Amino acid sequence: MECRQIGYLFLGFAVFVSVMYWSSPSHIHSELRAQYIKKNRPNFVFILTDDQDVVLDGMLPMANVRKLIAKEGLTLSNSFVASPLCCPSRSSILTGQYVHNHMAINNSLSGQCSGTRWQMGPEKRTFATHLHNYGYETFFAGKYLNQYGHEKVGGVKHVPPGWDWWFGLKGNSRYYNYTLSVNGMAEEHGTDPDKDYLTKVISERALEFLHKSSFEKPFFMMLSVPSAHAPFTPEPKYSGNFSSLRAPRTENFNIKAGEGKHWLMRQGVQPLPDDVVNKVDDVFRNRLRTLLTVDDMVKDVVEYLEVVDELKNTYLIFTSDNGYHLGQFSQPLDKREPYETDIRVPFTIRGPNIPSGMVNTFPTTNIDLAPTILDLAGIRIPKYMDGVSLKSEITKTKSTGVHVVLNSISLSEEELLKREYQIPGYPQRVMRMRVEAILCAEKTCVLFGELESSAFIAKLLITNQCYRTRLFMMAIFIDLRFHHCGVRAKA
Ligand SMILES: *[C@@H]1O[C@H](CO)[C@@H](O)[C@H](O)[C@H]1NC(C)=O
Ligand SMILES: *[C@@H]1O[C@H](CO)[C@@H](O)[C@H](O)[C@H]1NC(C)=O
Ligand SMILES: *[C@@H]1O[C@H](CO)[C@@H](O)[C@H](O)[C@H]1NC(C)=O
């Protein structure tokens, strides 16, 4: 399939060149090829934040993102991640696949977070490899996967395929005292705020790349910042910002998780003691502070693109690998839970043919990113990707209306859903699921619910038994987008 696509590309190119041959001197073939690739392909700057929520004011510090991306482009207000945990979600973003298909099931090497099986399989099929094969110059800086650079899997010498420029962070998010793989060579960083603060280093490398680029080839740049992940270390100049704020007291803030919640939610001291609540507030402020540096980076990159006249031909995409909770249902701080705070993420995009200043409610998930990027680049979407391209939706000037179905699913429909998601080899009992809400747009629905035990969730992922390969079956929600779910909003 890919060979055939390359074949078409070269066939098209050959026809183009032979036409040009008769009207121009023949020695400019390589220049023509560069122009051919260039003229037809947009650039991309993909900014991926770490653990940034959208529900608990996570976008508050992003004045430049609002002004330079959202206001000039489109916000997808119903963006979710199918697996709100760094490594599984990032692996889904890179491959366009659900966790049960790429099998990076947790943040450990043994769970294939940057593990051997990941390197031998899914890593060779990320959007980067496709973009690279089709003539893109690809650039990556920042956090990749939590176990990247581990000695057991090749250390920092291992540069994932598809990336021409590689500045990969060894291990999990940090702000100081880290190792970067600079195209396979270790580069150590200390604690000098000017030279070592990771978000700033990412920003500088990005600007250097743009500065050096002749833009003969289209480029894809991924800026994968550590903010707002632990250890929540702001740049010194921002250490005093937001001091008067505290974590939002949502309706479910610091209340006991009831019997209806799954097992994990009912562990721990509930409600939280005062010192823990203070810690939650402190983390809330520091998360926002770390994001201010990201917002500066966005401004610098956009301004530079404008100076070199590449801005109008560049898609800027801003999103996060998962959300975060801060005190909801007495869970102090983390992600990985099946609730709005954790699964809902920011998503905004600007670029060619994207309407400006629009908000679209169309429901999307992290697996849609890879197919959307390839589609916007004019590359055919490989069949193994589970996600769908959002291209037609994000280039519309009118939002597709969505309807929300809340706790109103009749018994027969619930029975239907149960049957649909029974996993071979597992008793129906274990599969009991409470449906909380369904969000539908045309034939696309995203269904939210809770399984009765989180222990089961892990098992389910490991067995890789899915009733239908395209259905997502982790803890969090089931994505029914390939099937008309037949559920209508109650009047
Ligand atoms: C990750 O998954 C692997 C494989 O199932 C398992 O052995 C390991 O304990 C898991 N790690 C964590 C932290 O859950
Ligand atoms: C960085 O490492 C040094 C030396 O090990 C240590 O003293 C310092 O506390 C660390 N700083 C941070 C911010 O991690
Ligand atoms: C951060 O705080 C400083 C000092 O109060 C203020 O001048 C600055 O505008 C704040 N920056 C942002 C981006 O909010």
Dist. CA 88 → ligand 1 center (Å): 12
At CB < 8 A and 24+ separation, what contacts does 418-426 make?
A: 420/467, 420/471, 421/467, 421/471, 421/473, 421/478, 422/467, 423/460, 423/463, 423/465, 423/466, 423/467, 423/473, 424/465, 424/467, 425/463, 425/465, 426/460, 426/465
Domains of the chain, by residue range, sit at 2-36, 42-394, 403-479
pLDDT at 191: 98
CATH superfamily of the domain spanning 42-394: Alkaline Phosphatase, subunit A (3.40.720.10)
Largest interatomic CA distance in the chain: 80
Residue with CA at minimum distance from ligand 2 atom 2? 177
Cα 103 versus chain centre, distance: 17
Residue with CA at minimum distance from ligand 1 atom 13? 108
pLDDT at 78: 86
* Active site (catalytic) residues: 86
First to last CA, the chain: 47
* Pocket around ligand 2 at a 6 A CB cut-off: 176-177, 191
Dist. CA 334 → ligand 2 center (Å): 24
Q: Is 292 in the pocket of ligand 3 (CB under 6 A)?
A: yes
**Could you read off the pLDDT tens digit of each residue along the chain, which spans 491 residues?**
333 333 334 344 443 333 333 344 444 556 555 555 556 799 999 999 999 999 999 999 999 999 999 999 999 998 988 778 899 899 999 999 887 688 887 899 998 999 999 999 999 999 999 999 999 999 999 999 999 999 999 999 999 999 999 999 999 999 999 999 999 999 999 999 999 999 999 999 999 999 999 999 999 999 999 999 999 999 999 999 999 999 999 888 998 877 666 666 777 889 999 999 999 999 999 999 999 999 999 999 999 999 999 999 999 999 999 999 999 889 999 988 777 888 889 999 999 999 999 999 888 889 899 999 999 999 999 999 988 899 999 998 887 777 665 544 433 444 434 444 433 333 333 344 555 556 666 656 666 666 544 433 433 333 222 222 233 333 334 444 433 333 333 32
